[in-house]
Structure 1
Amino acid sequence: MLFITNRLPKQSSRSRNGRKFSFDLDNNSVSTSVFFAKRLSDNENTELGNRAFFTELKNSSKRQILLYIHGFSNLPEQIFEAAHELQQLCDAQDQNEVLVVPLIWPCDNDSGIIKDYWDDQKAADASAISFERVLDKFLSWRGSDDDNQDPCLKRINILAHSMGNRVLRQTLQAWKTYELPNGVPMLFRNSFLVAADIVNESLEEGEAGELICHASRNVVVYHASDDLALRASKASNLKHKIASRRLGHSGPENLSLCPSNVYAVDCDDINNSYDFPKGHSYFRYGKNHGQAGVVFKHLYSVLKIGRVFPNDPKRRTMILDDPHS
């Protein structure tokens, strides 16, 4: 599995192609460097460098790329497990359609969920500088004609889960500030915002997350009002006088104030039966481990055809339920 990280390795902060790459779990400082690497087996990784990394992407038989940004308090082995599950689910639908590529940012290894939450918010914000360089490389690669080859035509999608949405939001802001003052390009075919731990006005015009809409053909928000992890997030933010509900709880505060490419999918009927008791990681399996749930099936359908509601182009919301529950 290919992956990208700004988490520092045990070996050295100096990048070197072909070396062993081991995560330093006790160091959650945000590196200004970005490492392009490959997972060979459990706890065994090698650094590729960006040229070899993008060559492998281009040579892959998969037609689309799904970048995966994980949520808070996730360490590398947990992230690889989630990415592997996503890859298995995609391959079960079509072996040649989707390649999952995790972006790993430095969550904290401390005990105590509240301490982790605030440390991880800082790390999420600081990771923006690293990952805006990654987006710039993806943009250059997509239009590259190196080695007299055609530009890469693979579609690029992104799935941000929980606090990963904060990473995505801040990354796009940094990309615009430092590289693209006239606005960001439409790099992503689909942006899937799952259980998003950002305020629910974020996607409205003039708000901090508006650039997600500019960078995407479709922005699909999956939300559930009884997501217990986001309830804890809201309580934590209230201590810092941030009173707004989270996007992953209610969906957009006012969909009419969001750009027309934003869609909201209510997962309240199934999130706890898929991920008991927290109801937070409901986007992969259904009630039975190894079997795709209705959230993943909807997500994959959007990946496959590029339309959220193909039978009703004017529709912008829906409620998901599981007929087998």
Structure 2
Amino acid sequence: MLFVTNREPQGSIRTKVNRKFKFDLKINAPSNSIYCCERIDKDNYIELGSKEWLARLRDSDAKQILFFIHGFSNLPEPHIFPRTQKLQKFFDVKEENLVKVVPVIWPCDDDPGIVKDYWDDQKSADMSAFSFARALQFFMKWRDEEPEDNPCLKRINILAHSMGNRVFRETLSAWNKYDLANGVPLLFRNTILMAADIVNESLEEGQDGRLISQSSRNVSVYYATDDLALRSSKISNSKNKVASRRLGHTGPENMKKTQSNVFEIDCDNFNNRYDKPKGHSYFLDDEKGNIGVVFDHIFNSIKTGRVKVDDEQNRRHIL
């Protein structure tokens, strides 16, 4: 499994190709560097370096790439890598070699108590924007310099879960501010905002999240009003005088203020059954361990490049 991270390794912070890579979990401050690595097995990782890493993505059998940006309070083991493996397994069950899932690992903390953990991770999410923006700029340069007889033709998709949406939003904002003329390129085929822990006005004109719509062909917002993790997030923000409903709780505040490529998918009918009791990580399997309806919907969007909605005029769908 290939992965990219801005978590600092143990030992030297300088890239060294083919070295054993070990996360320093005592440090949850984002590194300015990006490490392009491969997971061989649990707690067994190798740093490949960016050129080899990108070449492996280009040369893989998969037709599309899905970058998975995890949520808050998630560690590489036992959270992020096993979840990525499950995602990959489900895609392969549906259609082998359609999608390669690549986790994007940013520094989370594992302090006791959701409020302390939440605010530590929120700061880390914001600070991670600078290193991941540099990675996007490096990727664009690498793509432009690829030989004409061997270009990278993979379609690129994003699945951001929970606070991973904040990482993604801030990354695009930093990339636009420091590296681009004024506006991001259309780089992603499908962007999936899953239980997004950002304000529900984020995709509107004048908001930083507007760049998400501009960089994507399709933007799918999956939400559930009884997501208990986001309810705690709202309480935590309110205590710190930041009062706003979350995108993953209500969907966009006003769909008329979003771009026409934004779709909202209501998951209220089943999220707590899929993920008891929080109802927050409901995008994988159902209560019986079978592939769930959210994953089916995601798969169809990635497969076809179209987002299925029953109410096309209002761009809404109830699962």
Give TM-score, length-normalised by structure 1: 0.95
Give identity over the alignment, percent: 57
- The range that moved more, 272-281 or 304-313, is 304-313
Partner residue of 2:102? 101
Q: Give the gaps of 5 or more residues in structure 1.
A: 321-325
Partner residue of 1:232? 232
Partner residue of 1:279? 279
Give, in whole Å, the separation in 1 of the partners of 2:158 and 2:22: 25
Is 1:5 aligned to 2:11, yes or no?
A: no
Give, in whole Å, the separation in 1 of the partners of 2:67 and 2:196: 16
**What's the Cα RMSD here?**
1.3
- For residues 72-221 of structure 1, the aligned pairs below 5 Å read 72-77=72-77, 78-146=79-147, 149-221=149-221
Tell me if structure 2 keeps the 8 A contact 1:3–1:39.
yes
CA offset at residue 141 of structure 1?
A: 3.8
Partner residue of 1:255? 255
Partner residue of 1:51? 51
Write the letter of the residue equivalent to 2:258: C
Tell me if structure 1 keeps the 8 A contact 2:68–2:104.
yes
CA offset at residue 312 of structure 1?
A: 7.3
Write the letter of the residue equivalent to 1:165: N
Give TM-score, length-normalised by structure 2: 0.97
Per-residue Cα deviation, 1:222-255 (whole angstroms, up to 9, x for no partner): 0000000000000000012111100000000000
Tell me if structure 2 keeps the 8 A contact 1:142–1:153.
no
Partner residue of 2:246? 246
The runs of 4+ residues in structure 1 deviating greater than 4 Å are 310-315
Tell me if structure 2 keeps the 8 A contact 1:64–1:99.
yes
The number of residue pairs the alignment matches comes to 318
Partner residue of 2:306? 307
Per-residue Cα deviation, 1:120-170 (whole angstroms, up to 9, x for no partner): 000000000000112223333444424x53321100000000000000000
Partner residue of 1:323? none
CA offset at residue 52 of structure 1?
A: 0.2
CA offset at residue 178 of structure 1?
A: 0.7
CA offset at residue 287 of structure 1?
A: 1.7
Give, in whole Å, the separation in 2 of the partners of 1:236 and 1:171: 23
Is 1:316 aligned to 2:315, yes or no?
A: yes
- For residues 54-73 of structure 1, the aligned pairs below 5 Å read 54-73=54-73
Tell me if structure 2 keeps the 8 A contact 1:143–1:152.
no
CA offset at residue 286 of structure 1?
A: 1.4
Tell me if structure 1 keeps the 8 A contact 2:199–2:246.
yes
